[in-house]
Structures are given as C-alpha cells and as structure tokens.
Chain A
C-alpha cells in the first residue's frame, strides 16, 4: 500500500482521475439538478471501481518483468497469497476515494439522499475485487507491460462505453443494449445505480451480486492457476482459453437478462430519476 501511495501514477489514476470524473459528470450534467446526482455518482463510482482493473495488472506484469516476483518466489509465499494481498491493498486504497466522492457529491453537488449505503459498500467491495481479479487475468496471459496496456485499453474502452457508465444504457439502440448485458461492467453500473438511485436493498441485487461474485471467484482461481513468477516463463497455450472462460458467467447471465428484461427496465427507471421534479424546499439555496 505504501508503495502505491509513493507512485505518482497511482495518485493520478486512483485519486485525481476519479475526482476529475466526479466534477466533470456532476458539474456538466448535475448542476442545479440535485435529483440527477445519485445517478451520476453511480457512474463515477463504477469508473473508480473499474480502475482497479488497470492498476493491478500493470503492476504485476512490471514486477514480473523486473524480476521482483522471482525474489518473492524464494520466500514461503504462494501465488494465491500474492494475488489476494494485492487485491486487498488495492481495495483499501480505493475506499478513501469512494468516500471522498460521496462526501463531495453531498457537499458540492447537493445530493439529497445517500441511497442504500450498505448496498453501495457491498457493490464497491465486490466490484473492486472483481475488476482487480479480471486485471490479474490479463496479467497472467500477457508478457510485457506494453502488451498489458494495449489489452487493458481495449477492455477499458469496452467497459467505459458499453456498460452505461458514460453513455446511459437506455440511450443505446436495442441490439446494443443486448450486447451490454454480456459485459461485467454493466452489472456493476446497474447495481450501483439501483442502490444509489432506487435505494435497493442488498437482498434485491440478485443478478448483479451473483454475476460479480461469480466472476470474482472464477477470475481469482484462474489468475492463481496461471500465475507466473519468472519473466522467462511463457504463458502456457491453454492460458488464453482458460482466461477467456471468465466470460462464461456473463454469457449465461446475458442470455438470461435478454430473456427477462429486468435489467433494462431498472436502467430505464434509474435514468428517468434524473428528470424527476424536485420539491422546491429540496433545491439548494
């Protein structure tokens, strides 16, 4: 954790960039519309949480390239412990940024409700672990930091534009909404919107919780199986296939959501919350 704090790139990606997202989203679309803030905050939180996908994979590959992991391999530390500790430290570093975003949304942008805070805590926790574990899978199949960055960018753009975190899901054409059902980030975004906008209880976050926790467990197990300490050790042929299998829960869930349509309905209702009229006494003075 200390190492991360001493790295300027970490400060930029984990603190500065999430705050830029908050001020841009809420400043542009939430000014004078406090009813829109929970919806916008959900998007900002999703982007913050998804940031863990980036940081960990790049750090792990860099450490492997530099031979730092080899030194750790000489000590009685297993791959699972290495991965779990890096996910945990990443999570503990994400939490203060999330808290700050909540407080700024309230103080600066006059958010009127906190939503379901327990639900938000659960979604942030699960989201951070899931996206960190997905990042670790990328690290397990790439050889160099450059290659990792290219793959991370490709996934990041997918998460950014198809999950509903930047462009609201209800604005997508029907076929694109169906594509979004197959993307892990969509469940994080809709889950956060549900708890912040609709105040949904954790117990009613079934699909979102199930998909994220299933993905987290699967991604962690696969990352552990494919973990490499040595820069000279190449990823086995089966690695890419195994890594790709992380998408299986989302294929199943996507098919189910396409059939059921509740995710689309929730997204629509949450989006409309931005347009709800607010009682004059609730408006900021």
Chain B
C-alpha cells in the first residue's frame, strides 16, 4: 500500500487557555475523500489550517504529500488547493480576473474558460465578486481551489450557510472532483454531507477524534439497534424509558427522547403500558435506522449542531 497523502499524528493546539486540539491523529490515502465531522468548535478548522500551513501546531506532526506544511514553503502550496471557511476576495474584482490572478501564481494551471464553464460561472465572468450570491461565491472559491490542479484539496465547511438547493449543487461539484480521484479532506457539521461524499469519516469532538471509519462502519456501531424517537405529553418519570424492554440507550434530545432498541415491537408495547401506568400520553413516535447523527449522539450525548 502506498504511503498516505495526509498524515496527522497526535496534533495539539491551544489558543490561550482553550485546548482546540488534544491529540488528533488520522491518515488519508491517495484518492480518498475524508471527512472531519463535528460540531462548531470541535477543532476541525484548526486541524485543516495546520495541514494547509496557515497555522502552527503546538505539538504533534502533520505531513501532506510527504511535506511539512510550514517548512516546505512555496513548493508545498503548488500541491494543495483549498477553500477557507469564509473565502474573501476584494469586492471589486471580477470573476474572471480572480481566476486569472490566482492561476498566475502557479506553475501548473487549469484552463480558466473550462473552470468558468464547469462551475456554472460563465454568465458571471465579468461580475464583481461583491455582486455574487453566496452559492456563486462558494463555486468561485471551489474553482480557485482547483485552479492549479492540486493533488490534495482541503474544503473547510464548503456548504455552511448555503440553502439546501445550493448545497446540493456544491455536492455535485465535489462528487465530480471525487471522480477525478482527487484526495479531499473536508470538514462539515452536516451529516448528509459526510454520508454522501466521504469514503471515511473521523468524528471530532472537543479537539479529539472520537470515532473513525467509513460511514457504514460507524453506523454499525449501532448495529442491531433501531432508533425510536418519542415525544410525550409530559416529561417521563426518571429513568423509566431506559429500563423498557429491548432498550440499549436512552437520551433526551431537546423535547424528544431517543431510544435505541434491539427489539422494537416489545419496546413499543412496554412503552405504551408504561405511559398508561404513569398517566402520560404519546405525542409522536418515529422509527428509523440509525444515522451518523445517532452515532454522534451515542458518543457524546449531544446533537451535532448543539
């Protein structure tokens, strides 16, 4: 097996008294789309920015294409492409000018007309950056990220703040890049994004990787269980839901209770009986197979967007 394109070992970073990273480790193979999934403040951006050479780590090591991002200098920058969490360009730069300017910095360049076409920016080629919508700005950011045919692509929250339709457009673009066998590291707090785009996912929380695997593997952590989400007329008595037949875990999420059960019919019968005994009522009940959201919930006791 060839050596990994991205190697992160025991990365730590503090901002004053805040521990942003507490020993993050993972590897990304050539052609793999790897996701860092976690809530805001989990340490995703710090990790990516260390890998991009924008920040230094306090300890641990980070290597991209065998190079140390901080020490390899301009040669390293030729190998990577990136979108920042919030890419900003001068308001008065035109779309085509921005692509031409960034393209001029690199030895290896893509054709600008192709990029405009591919990212649906042909009609906006002469528009000022300040006139673009959020989705168009993000498409331009992605086009700029691949202007140099990078070997590795870092996408930091590529769809954050975009409406669902634009988000799906961006997914299509990333899927195309995936087909080109680009190595991509993306950070996200959207489950859908991680499940749809990533070959493997590292779940990050409080500066640590708490689970790592393919989306399927992660979901199998809840193997054999089914997710039951119930809403009740009144709060249940302490601990009764967790003791119902077949229930393996029980957590309150906002106003709902999420149970994982190995024997769904028995759990539901027991639930109805219990509510009758307690004089409580069922407001709603949803049964589904577990998602990455449930994996995160199981691991941390919190929802991803808390």
Binding site for B on A (CB under 8 A): 2-3, 6-7, 63, 66-68, 70-71, 73-78, 229-230
B92 CB within 8 Å of chain A: yes
Establish whether residues A74 and B88, one from each chain, have CB atoms under 8 Å apart when the complex forms.
no
Q: How far is the CA of A2 from the CA of B106 in the complex (A)?
A: 21
Known: A74-B54, A74-B80. A68 touches B105 (CB 8 A): no
Establish whether residues B84 and A78, one from each chain, have CB atoms under 8 Å apart when the complex forms.
no
Q: Which residues of chain B are near A67, meaning CB under 8 Å? A: 84, 86-88
Q: How far is the CA of A78 from the CA of B84 in the complex (A)?
A: 19
16 contacts between A and B (CB under 8 A): A2-B93, A2-B97, A3-B92, A67-B84, A68-B88, A71-B84, A71-B87, A71-B88, A71-B144, A74-B82, A75-B77, A75-B105, A76-B75, A76-B78, A77-B74, A78-B74
Known: A3-B93, A70-B54, A230-B54. A75 touches B102 (CB 8 A): yes
* Distance from B175 Cβ to chain A, minimum over Cβ atoms (Å): 23
Nearest first, the 9 A-B pairs at minimum CB distance are: A76-B77, A76-B74, A67-B88, A6-B92, A75-B105, A66-B88, A68-B88, A74-B82, A3-B92
Instruction: List B residues 180-236 near A (Cβ within 8 Å).
Output: none
B90 CB within 8 Å of chain A: yes
Known: A67-B86, A70-B84, A71-B87. A76 touches B105 (CB 8 A): yes
Establish whether residues A77 and B105, one from each chain, have CB atoms under 8 Å apart when the complex forms.
yes
Q: Which residues of chain A are near B92, meaning CB under 8 Å? A: 2-3, 6-7
* Distance from A71 Cβ to chain B, minimum over Cβ atoms (Å): 6
- Among residues of A, the one whose C-beta sits closest to the C-beta of B97 is A2
B157 CB within 8 Å of chain A: no
Q: Which residues of chain A are near B86, meaning CB under 8 Å? A: 67
Instruction: List B residues 131-146 near A (Cβ within 8 Å).
Output: 144
Q: Which residues of chain B are near A68, meaning CB under 8 Å? A: 88-90
Query: Most A CB atoms within 10 A — which of B54, B90, B105?
Result: B90
Instruction: List B residues 67-124 near A (Cβ within 8 Å).
Output: 74-75, 77-78, 80-82, 84, 86-90, 92-93, 97, 102, 105-106
Establish whether residues B84 and A3, one from each chain, have CB atoms under 8 Å apart when the complex forms.
no
What is the predominant secondary structure among interface residues of chain A facing chain B?
A: loop
Binding site for A on B (CB under 8 A): 52, 54, 74-75, 77-78, 80-82, 84, 86-90, 92-93, 97, 102, 105-106, 144
- Among residues of B, the one whose C-beta sits closest to the C-beta of A70 is B84
Q: Which residues of chain A are near B80, meaning CB under 8 Å? A: 74
Q: How far is the CA of A63 from the CA of B92 in the complex (A)?
A: 12
List the count of A-B residue pairs having beta carbons below 8 Å apart.
48
- Among residues of B, the one whose C-beta sits closest to the C-beta of A71 is B87
Q: How far is the CA of A181 from the CA of B92 in the complex (A)?
A: 41
- Among residues of B, the one whose C-beta sits closest to the C-beta of A77 is B105
* Distance from B131 Cβ to chain A, minimum over Cβ atoms (Å): 12
- Among residues of B, the one whose C-beta sits closest to the C-beta of A66 is B88
* Distance from B102 Cβ to chain A, minimum over Cβ atoms (Å): 6
Q: How far is the CA of A227 from the CA of B81 in the complex (A)?
A: 23
Establish whether residues B105 and A63, one from each chain, have CB atoms under 8 Å apart when the complex forms.
no
Known: A2-B97, A67-B84, A230-B54. A74 touches B77 (CB 8 A): yes
Q: Which residues of chain A are near B87, meaning CB under 8 Å? A: 67, 71
Establish whether residues B54 and A73, one from each chain, have CB atoms under 8 Å apart when the complex forms.
yes
Q: Which residues of chain B are near A63, meaning CB under 8 Å? A: 90
Q: Which residues of chain A are near B90, meaning CB under 8 Å? A: 3, 63, 68
Q: How far is the CA of A2 from the CA of B78 in the complex (A)?
A: 26
* Distance from B188 Cβ to chain A, minimum over Cβ atoms (Å): 19
* Distance from A233 Cβ to chain B, minimum over Cβ atoms (Å): 9
Establish whether residues A71 and B89, one from each chain, have CB atoms under 8 Å apart when the complex forms.
yes
Q: Which residues of chain A are near B102, meaning CB under 8 Å? A: 75
Establish whether residues B84 and A74, one from each chain, have CB atoms under 8 Å apart when the complex forms.
yes
Q: How far is the CA of A76 from the CA of B108 in the complex (A)?
A: 12
Q: Which residues of chain B are near A78, meaning CB under 8 Å? A: 74
Query: Most A CB atoms within 10 A — which of B54, B75, B106?
Result: B54
Q: How far is the CA of A70 from the CA of B87 in the complex (A)?
A: 8
Q: How far is the CA of A68 from the CA of B129 in the complex (A)?
A: 12
* Distance from B264 Cβ to chain A, minimum over Cβ atoms (Å): 49
Q: Which residues of chain A are near B105, meaning CB under 8 Å? A: 75-77
Establish whether residues B89 and A74, one from each chain, have CB atoms under 8 Å apart when the complex forms.
no
Q: Which residues of chain B are near A74, meaning CB under 8 Å? A: 52, 54, 77, 80-82, 84
* Distance from B63 Cβ to chain A, minimum over Cβ atoms (Å): 18
- Among residues of B, the one whose C-beta sits closest to the C-beta of A78 is B74
* Distance from A55 Cβ to chain B, minimum over Cβ atoms (Å): 14
Q: How far is the CA of A73 from the CA of B54 in the complex (A)?
A: 7
Q: How far is the CA of A28 from the CA of B82 in the complex (A)?
A: 57
Q: Which residues of chain B are near A6, meaning CB under 8 Å? A: 92
* Distance from B91 Cβ to chain A, minimum over Cβ atoms (Å): 9
Q: How far is the CA of A27 from the CA of B54 in the complex (A)?
A: 53
Q: How far is the CA of A33 from the CA of B233 in the complex (A)?
A: 95
Q: How far is the CA of A63 from the CA of B52 in the complex (A)?
A: 20
Q: How far is the CA of A109 from the CA of B300 in the complex (A)?
A: 79
